[in-house]
Amino acid sequence: MSAYRMSDDDFKNYSEDGFIIVRSLFDAGEMELLREAVQVDRDLAEAAYEVKDREGGTAKIALWQGAGDDLYGLVARSHRIVDTMERLLGGEVYHWHSKMTIKDPYTGGAWEWHQDYGYWYNYGCLYPYLASCMIAVDRMTKENGCLEVLKGSHHMGRLEHGVNVQLGADMERVEVAMKTLERVHCELEIGDGIFFHCNLLHSSGQNKSSQPRRAFLCCYNAARNSPYKVVRHPQYSPLAKVPDSAIKAVGLKIARQDFSKTSHYQLK
């Protein structure tokens, strides 16, 4: 099958809605490799730290900044993602970070309503020229806590974020926005992807199902938006794109990542 290339309609929808869903962004063979990697990668499992939600549920996240020649890095450097990001962000991009989020069966916690730029702003980025691609490692349904978004909320600009159990957006404004903006449950099949703007309000519920809910996210910053200070994320460095075919060509190769042990909700 031919790899995804963004259409004009997709670009228009992203601009209006703040996100687009791409079905079968990665094919069955590629996802078999990624799913096996997540299953056998003990370093990732050990690095994943717990984040509690308001009701005591526990989500897990492992985060790293490198994009090398292993499977995770080749996915993050693939043309189908990077070319899309360059069109969405209006020019050259670089790898901001990648992360794996994990919700275990029955106990997996929720992610509160937030914008990614709510905290990336504090890492020295002057402009909201950042975006993410979430890839469904498992099926994502309402029952197991799929991504939820407020359609078009990126037009609101950055909201204030405070630290409670998680770093969440100003709920007074979120609740007002919910009265006028459509709330979309982004249910995904394995290999589907969603590209979304850093100011899009999003959340996800707890995993009430018997199946795990794992997502691989690749995040990017525009080269022209390199942080003016170094806090937790890298300043601009060129990103070497690789052919989409490189993923299967290299196969199940897992490098030892420089996982961040620092909470995702702290600035240092």
**What is the per-residue pLDDT across 132-173, written as a single tens digit (0 to 9) for each?**
999 999 999 999 999 999 999 999 999 998 765 577 899 999
pLDDT exceeds 70 at position 1: no
Cβ-based burial of 141 (10 A; exposed 0-12, middle 13-18, buried ≥19): middle
- Report which residue type is found at 209: S
Query: 12-223 is classed in which CATH architecture?
Result: Sandwich (2.60)
3-state secondary structure of 262: coil
pLDDT at residue 263, as a whole number: 55
* pLDDT tens per residue, range 221-233: 999 999 999 887 8
pLDDT for residue 267: 41
Mean pLDDT of 198-227: 97
Domain ranges in the chain are: 12-223
Residue 21 has pLDDT above 60, yes or no: yes
Contact 96, 139 (CB under 8 A): no
- Is residue 7's pLDDT more than 60? yes
pLDDT averaged over the chain?
Answer: 93
